[in-house]
Structure 1
């Protein structure tokens, strides 16, 4: 939400002055308006209209109490028709310091460029008090409409006069998503069937139909009959819009361990235990929540999921009769309660060849030689070579004894 918006300019005799503000009295006091000001403008004035070295560029400032952030784009127009041969102004937006400022940057830049052009055309800003035209909106009315429209509709289209219109829109800014790997498993965060229509891309429709939280990217591409590269691009597009999230392939040979955030689950922060129960318990009697804590905390870096299940079975607790283990692990990873421990193969001979840049042929290691640099996890080998964990180990054993080490991290 935009807390306030104001127009300031530099006056040769008075210095920096707030000419218009919305809501009234939010920046400087006004007669008949009893309103708390966001900050002391006298303290911030030199940053609102700064030295010329900071003009004509996007500037952000925080007030001394760190409650508000002022976004502006001070402009300096040089021309002999002005006093001191220059005209300096700034249209600023005030938002809370906790609000993401990135969507507002384009709005502030647009305000500066639009009013700069209008000033160059007909001195819209500098001659405001002298204008007698009834066909143009006042600056006070414009900033009021801009604030209300952006807050209520995230866009505005305001006719100023016969020749100018202010068009702006707030767009959410998403971070560029990480690369999609063929061994990742996409999980949808929304019901695509409720929002999909005939205008959707055909390739995207085919891929979405295959997203079930179990299939990895490689298998989705195969079952949807879509090229793997196109599949990755499409899924990255869904990642960008926060429509899916990516997890590792679930295998019973995987290793997981508790993360520090496990404490939030144990103290049942935000009802997390009930949420987990609804997600992981299969049809049948539900166990006390204590068992969920026990299951999570018994995961460790020294045992696989298969060994973890066997340990509980030996203790008289048949986990598979009560819990969907795949969903249980997914819940823990999504919430950050547990983390995956990956396996990597490291060949001393292959690393030496990389350092010396001398290609050597490792006896028995042709199939997996390029994967033994410690940078390729077993998931990647499984997806790209289409072989399981046991076959990977069989291939690695063909390499001379003692050359390959398996590391976990």
Structure 2
């Protein structure tokens, strides 16, 4: 949210002055406007129109009370037609200190470049109020429209005169997502049928048809008849725009354990227990919330999902009759109630050979040996070698006795 926009320029006789501001009185006092200013402009003036060494570049500065951030791009135009042979100005945006400033950088740069070009063309800024300015919008009207449009619509397109238009848009900046692995399982956060159209990339349209929360990336690529690397790129785009999230491949041999956020579920914050019950419900009588808490809290680091199911079935609770186990685990992962305990194989002999440089990581005779450095989980082995946990363990037994250890973390 933009708190204010102002246009400041350096006047040879008066120094740095605010010429226009919106909303009125937000930076400097105005007649008939009784409202508190965002900050004391006099203490910030030297940063608004700085020395020439800092001109023509993007500058940000915080007010002394650290409540607001001023974003500007001071401009200095050198020309003999101006007093002192230069014209210095700055269009600044004021935002809250907690607001991400990155999306606004392009707007500030665009304001500076657009008004610089208009000043060079017809002295739009330096001769404001003169004969040439009668058939064009005033600067005060322009910055007011810019502020309102960017705050309300995240974009603006404002005709200035017959030759110039101010056209800007705020683009959200997302963090770069983590790499997509072939053993990850994408889960959609939106209904793609409502947003996909004919302009979408063909690979993307083929990939999203197979996102069901069950298939891993490798299987999606196979079923969609798409190269694995292209499927990963498509899913990376969806991750960037927060359209999907990635979970681990669900198997009954997996191990899950509660996180500290489990307290929020037990206390039923934000109605989380009912939300879980509705998400995992299959048919018949709905499982009471007490049992949902009991099911979550009996997951632990030393117990696989299969053993966890057997524990409750031995106690008379047939879990399969009440809930979808995969969706139950999935709910816990999405909400941060559970974390996955992965399995890793570590071969002391292989690590010793790597440390001494006697073996190349990619040139090993045994296909599984390169996975025994403690950096590759069993999920990765399963996805890349197309073998299950039982086969992996049987294969590792062929290694020298006592050489390989299975680590859970």
TM-score range normalised by the length of the shorter chain = over 0.9
Matches of 1:360 and 1:31, distance apart in 2: 78
Q: Which residues of structure 2 form unaligned runs of 5+? A: none
Closer/same/farther in 2, CA of residues 396 and 365 from structure 1, 3 Å limit: farther
The Cα offsets for residues 239-281 of structure 1, whole Å up to 9 and x where unpaired, read as 1221111110001111111112222222222221111111112
CA distance in 2, matches of 1:360, 1:302: 35
Partner of 2:191: 191
Aligned to 2:293: 293
After TM superposition, list the pairs within 5 Å mapping 1:332-371 onto structure 2. 332-359=332-359, 366-371=366-371
Equivalent position of 2:37 in the other structure: 37
Moved more, 298-307 or 74-83: 74-83
CA–CA distance in 2 between the matches of 1:152 and 1:131? 34
| Structure-2 separation of matches of 1:376 and 1:262 | 28
Would you say the 8 A contact 1:256–1:305 is kept in 2?
yes
User: Partner of 1:128: helix, strand, or coil?
Assistant: coil
Shift of 1:197: 2.9
- Runs (4+) off by over 6 Å: none
Shift of 1:32: 0.7
Matched, 1:227 2:220: no
- The offset of 1:183, in angstroms, is 0.4
Equivalent residue number for residue 157 of structure 1? 157
Q: Do structure 1's residue 5 and structure 2's residue 5 form an aligned pair?
A: yes
1:68 matched residue in structure 2: 68
Distance 2:108 2:254 in 1: 50
C-alpha offsets along residues 118-169 of structure 1, whole Å, 9 cap, x if unaligned? Answer: 2233332223244543122211111111112222332222222333221111
Q: Distance in 1 between matches of 2:265 and 2:369?
A: 42
1:167-186 equivalent positions in 2, closer than 5 A: 167-186=167-186
After superposition, the C-alpha distances for 1:81-101 in whole angstroms (9 at most, x for unaligned) are 433443222111122233322
Q: Does 1:101 align with 2:101?
A: yes
Alignment of 1:252-401 (within 5 A): 252-359=252-359, 366-401=366-401
Mapped partners of 1:263, 1:75: distance in 2? 55
SS of 1:246 mapped into structure 2: strand
Cα distance in 2 for partners of 1:8, 1:372 equals: 64
Counterparts of 1:302 and 1:75, CA distance in 2: 65
Greater mean alpha carbon deviation, residues 67-76 or residues 103-112: 67-76
- Is 1:79 matched up with 2:79? yes
- 1:405 corresponds in structure 2 to 405
Work out the CA distance in 2 between the residues paired with 1:333 and 1:280.
13
Q: Closer, same or farther in 2 for the Cα pair 1:178/1:321, shift >3 Å?
A: same
**Mean Cα deviation higher: 260-269 or 384-393:** 260-269
1:217 is aligned to 2:204: no
Contact residue 75 and residue 89 of structure 1 kept, 8 A: yes
TM, length-normalised to structure 2: 0.94
- TM-score with structure 1 setting the length: 0.94
1:278-310 Cα shifts (integer Å, max 9, x gaps): 111221212321222222122111111111112
Distance 1:174 1:30 in 2: 39
Partners of 2:66 and 2:311 in 1: CA distance? 53
Match of 2:390, SS?
helix
Cα distance in 1 between the residues matched to 2:24 and 2:379: 60
Q: Is the 8 A contact 2:27 2:40 kept in 1?
A: yes
Task: Write the distance in 2 (CA, Å) between the matches of 1:102 and 1:133.
Answer: 33
Could you tell me how far apart the structure 2 residues matched to 1:156 and 1:229 are? 38
Counterpart of 2:95 in 1: which secondary structure? strand
Task: Could you tell me which runs of 5 or more consecutive residues in structure 1 were left unpaired when the two chains were aligned.
Answer: none
Given the superposition, is the C-alpha separation of residues 365 and 323 from structure 1 closer, same or farther in structure 2, using an over 3 Å criterion? farther
Say whether the 8 Å CA contact 1:55–1:74 is kept in structure 2: yes
Is the contact between residue 124 and residue 133 of structure 2 (CA under 8 Å) also seen in structure 1?
no
